[in-house]
Structure formats: C-alpha cells, structure tokens
Structure 1
Amino acid sequence: MNIKNVFISGAGALGLMYASYLSKGVGKENVYFIADDKRVEKYKNSKYYVNDKEHNFNFISNNTDLKADLIILSVKFTGIHEAIKSLRNIVKDDTIFISVMNGIESENVIKEYYGDKHLLYCEVHGMDAVKEENKIYFSKPGLVCFGSKDNKITEDVKSVEEVLKKSNLPYEIPSDIMHKMWSKLMLNDAVNQVCAVFETGYGGIQKDGKAKDMVIETMREVSKVAEAEGIILTEDEINDWMDLMCTLNPDNMPSLRQDTKAKRKTEVELFAGTIKKLGKKHAIPTPLNDYLYDKIKEIENNY
C-alpha cells in the first residue's frame, strides 16, 4: 500500500514528536490527530511547539468520513480500550496498525477489536521527549523498531518503512520483534518505576547509587520471567540499555515519573502488574516488582 495519510491517537509527547516528523513524509495536511468532537473543538485552533518550532497540527473528529491508511496508537494504557473503540469509523480493510505504547499488551487489545491481519508489532526507545502544556522538547527522537509478528517482510512492513524513511525518522526492522519488545519491557519496567519511586529523572539512574542498582536488579528479575516465556534476555542487553540511559538528558524523565509528578494515574499495571502476573504463572518470585508496584500504588493513593 502507498500510505497517503497517518492518523495518530494520542497527542502526548510521543504523538506530537512523531507528527512533526511524519508531516515531512506524507505532508502536514495528511497527518491527523483523531479525537472526539469535544476534544477536537478544544484543540483544533491550538498551536504546539516542538523544540520551540511552531506547529499547527490537524485535529479531526472520529466521526469523519476519511479512512486511515496508517493508525499510530500513542495513548496511555489506562485509556486504550476507549481509544481503540473510537477508531472504528476510520478503519478500512487494509488499514495498518502500529502501537508505540509501552509494554507487550497493546497489540493484544488491538487484535481483540480489529484482528491482526494488518497489525504490526513495535517498540520504540532512545527518545527523551517531554511535554509541558503545549510544548514538547527532545534531544533524541529515538528508534522505531517494528515488524510482523512472524518477522516476515510483508507489504505492510515495506509500506511503513517507506513512510519512516521519507520522514527521516530513525527505524529498524529487527530479525525478532518479540525479543525487541520484551527487551524494551525489561528496560521500561525498571527505569520508569524506579525513577518514579526515587522521584528522579534520568540523572538519578546515571550515577552510582541505590536507584541505579535497583534498575539493574529489576531488569535481571524481568529477564527471568522473560526466559519462562521463551525469550532470552542477556546481561549484555542490560549493559547496553544502561549505556543508552547515560546518553539521555539527565534533567528529563521517563513517562511514569512524569505521571507521578503531575499526579496522574500511571501505567504500573502495564509494567509491574504484567511481570507480577507472569511471575505467578511460572512460579517465579518477583520481589522487586512487588515492591515497586506497592510503592507506586501508594504514591497514586496519596494524590
């Protein structure tokens, strides 16, 4: 398929960052943020600033007659069902779906509503985008890793690759996308939750100390659960992730820490909740995830 338009669900830091890139690939007029009528009315005349450059993004009602070639899901997991149901009117037989959401569960939810014929699997990492009201800042756009579940180079994979290439958005088509997604979950589970509990940005886990040590040990805990699920995550991968963390702006922070700082409901169920559930399934103790889960729930309850 020749992708002529892109619809993005979720106008957070990632959604806005990707929209600024994709506008180069398919044209600004063909990139849409889809929302309900109330939100469209609120945001349609809003100006956004991406690294201080002004953007007037298109907000369009989910009642539109337009049909989507590519849908990018970039919402919080807490609102995924509502977001996916709201897309029904723009989906056609060959609409391609990609989720840039955290974790390994969003693809299952998309599949539940729309099947998996044109569902691509994806994980993104290495970006440090932060949103402050109508402004987002980032020093690195990160890497979009995507592919079909069976790792075949399908026409959908080729179509998305072409758009990302035109958009100058860094990407990778890995040999094993499920391994990539689990590896990213290992990172997110540790970094997001530890930063939230220690009330720190990336700088707090870049320096030696309790926070950095807990990140490393939490990743090791996740790797044991992953192995039981048939995914081998190595110590070298943990070291590579820690090296990557040291390249990020120390003043920026991961999404879950942004949420606790802003007193928003977090994605703890997507991280520790998932690992705790799978740990019980395989009779693998998960004491660090148990601790992080309880602490984050305590933080939420004290808002």
Structure 2
Amino acid sequence: MQIKTVSIIGLGALGIMYADHFTKRLPKENVSIIADQERIDRYQSEGIYCNGERCDLHYVTPEEAVTPADLIIFTVKYSGLSEAIDAVSNQVDKDTIILSALNGISSEAEIGEVLGHEKVLYCVAQGMDAIKDRNQVTFQNKGMLCFGEGNSEKIETVAHFFDQVELPYQVVDDMIERQWGKFMLNVGVNQAVAVYQTNFQGVHEEGEARNTMIAAMREVITLSQKEGVYLTEADLYYWLDILSTLNPQGKPSLRQDTEAKRYSEVELFSGTVIRLGEKHGIPTPVNQYLYQQITDMEKQY
C-alpha cells in the first residue's frame, strides 16, 4: 500500500501545522481538512495562517461523498473526539490508516472501538512548540510524530510516506510507554505553566513552578507502575530534556486555553491522575492542587 491522500480533522495548532506541511508537498486536493460548513466558511473568510503565511487548504464536510483517505490524522481536543470519530466515517475504508495526535492515553482505544482497532497505530506528537492565536499558528520547533504498536506493514507504509513528505518522525517499539511518558510530561508542564501563569521559560528555570511540575510528573510515575507500564526517573529526565529544547516564550495548550478563557483538558491530565490514584489507593496531592487551581480559574469565565 502507498499513501497518496491524507485527511486531517481538527485545525488547532497541530492540525494547522500538519495541514500546511502536507499541502506544500502534495497536490492540494490530496490533503483534506474535515470540518462542518460553518467552520469552513469562517476559515475561508478569515484565513488560516502558519508562521505568518496564509495556508491554501482543501476543505470537505463530513457529509460529502468522497474517496476514502489513505491516512487520517486526528488533531482535535479530547472533548471533541467523539464528534470527530463520527465526522470521519465517510473517509474510512478497510485500508485506511489512522493516527491520533491527541493528548492523553485513551484516544486510540476509543477511535478503534468505532472505526476498527486494526486501522489505528499508536501515536504521540512530541517536541513541538506551536502556539495558536485565533486563526494564526506560530512555531519554532515542529517536533516529530512517534508511532508504532500495530501492523508492521502499516508502520512501514506511514514511515515511507513521512520520508517522502519530509515530516520528522520516529518509529517506536513500545508506544504504550512512550504515550505514558508524554502524558506524564503534559500532566506536569501543561498544568504548572497554567497555574503559575508563565511560559516554558518559567519551568525551564529552577523555582516553584518547575518543582511543582516535576512533583506532578512523579505522581504519574508511581501510578504507571500500578498500571503495568513502569515509567522511571530516566523517563522523567528524557522528557525534561525535550522540554528544554522548546522556545522559552512558547506556551503549552492548557496555558493557551486559560489565557483565552476556554475550557481546558484538565480532566484529561490531573483528572485522570486523581481517578487512577483513587483506583489504586495512592495519594495524588500535587495533581489535586493543580486540578483545584485550574477548575477555579475556569469558574471565573
């Protein structure tokens, strides 16, 4: 199999970054952005910009009769996942490969439950520092898509395609551990940066924000071992090293949400940690503190 067509659902920071990347390297009609007509009208009227350049994108509605895509990439927020799964149904056939760049540790299972587990490769987007402000995305580091944990032929197909379109990637044998590691980082950096109202520089430097971030990450390490994943301090420092490469003036998605007074993915981060802590009888005081702080912010909207 060869990938010639790509569909993306979710024009957040990652969705725009990938849509712009693919559109510049493939025929425009081979890269479809799935959105409802109201969103499409807004995108076309206001424009979508990536690093200051207007993107020339091809849009399709969920209802449109189209040839199924070879590759579908989910880049929605977790709260929109169920709706997004329904929206891509016309784009899926037996050979379609699906990647999810969502945060958290559960989206692949939820997508697979509806669209077929055999179509899904486990995936993590890491190392990017994209910021979205309304219809504009800026970034210095594109990061990479890490994927694996599935049909070897599909993994090779995606790797070959990413080579062709020059998208940074890494094939990872233990994607479950990698996903938990990214989850651990998100639990720390997204929430600490939001609560301390700072940016990546605020957690690059020694101080209360960085200490809180690392303490929240260590609670995930403890829980991972109860869940059979076994993260270690070495994993913590692997992700801290990645964090150190990000633009100091950049901000993670949860901080961008609280600044824009949007409801965040706090339930996906500390909410998940708290529930797992209750499941295993393990205290999670740092994540409980972060959860309370962020939900208090959201009550003020």
Scaled by the length of structure 1, the TM-score of the pair is 0.95
Q: Which residue of 2 aligns with 1:200?
A: 198
Instruction: Specify the alignment match of 1:296 in structure 2.
Output: 294
8 A contact 2:149–2:172 mirrored in 1: no
Query: Which residue does 1:258 correspond to in 2?
Result: 256
Overall identity of the aligned pairs, in %: 44
What residue number does 1:97 align with?
A: 98
For residue 56 of structure 1, report the CA deviation from its aligned partner.
1.1
| Separation of aligned partners in 1, 2:273 and 2:86 | 27
Q: Is 1:68 aligned to residue 66 of structure 2?
A: no
Contact preservation (8 Å) 1:105, 1:270: no
CA positional deviation for 1:174: 1.0
1:143 match: secondary structure: strand
Q: Is the 8 A contact 2:254 2:265 kept in 1?
A: yes
Shift of 1:91: 1.5
* CA-to-aligned-CA distance 1:2-56 (integer Å, 9 cap, x gap): 1111110001110011112222453333111101122223324553222123321
In 2: Cα distance, 1:2 partner to 1:44 partner: 31
State the match for 1:58 in structure 2. 58
Which contiguous aligned blocks of 4+ residues in structure 1 show a shift greater than 6 angstroms? none
Question: What value does the CA root-mean-square deviation take over the aligned residues?
Answer: 1.4
Listed as ranges, the matches of 1:145-156 within 5 Å are 145-149=146-150, 154-156=152-154
Write the mapping of 1:1-303 to structure 2, written as runs, cut at 5 A.
1-44=1-44, 46-66=46-66, 67-149=68-150, 154-303=152-301
Note if contact 2:7-2:73 (Cα within 8 Å) is conserved in structure 1.
yes
Amino acid at match of 1:132: D
Distance 2:8 2:270 in 1: 27
The amino acid of 2:94's aligned partner reads D
Q: Which amino acid aligns with 2:164?
A: K
Q: Give the deviation of 1:289 after TM superposition.
A: 1.0
Q: Partners of 2:288 and 2:260 in 1: how far apart?
A: 23
Mapped partners of 1:96, 1:240: distance in 2: 29
In structure 2, give the amino acid aligned to 1:293.
Y
- Tell me, which stretches of 5 or more residues in structure 1 are unaligned? none
**Partner amino acid for 2:53?**
K
Amino acid at match of 2:37: D
Kept after mapping to 1: 8 A contact 2:149/2:173: no
Please tell me whether the aligned partners of residues 22 and 165 of structure 2 are also in contact (alpha carbons under 8 angstroms).
Answer: yes
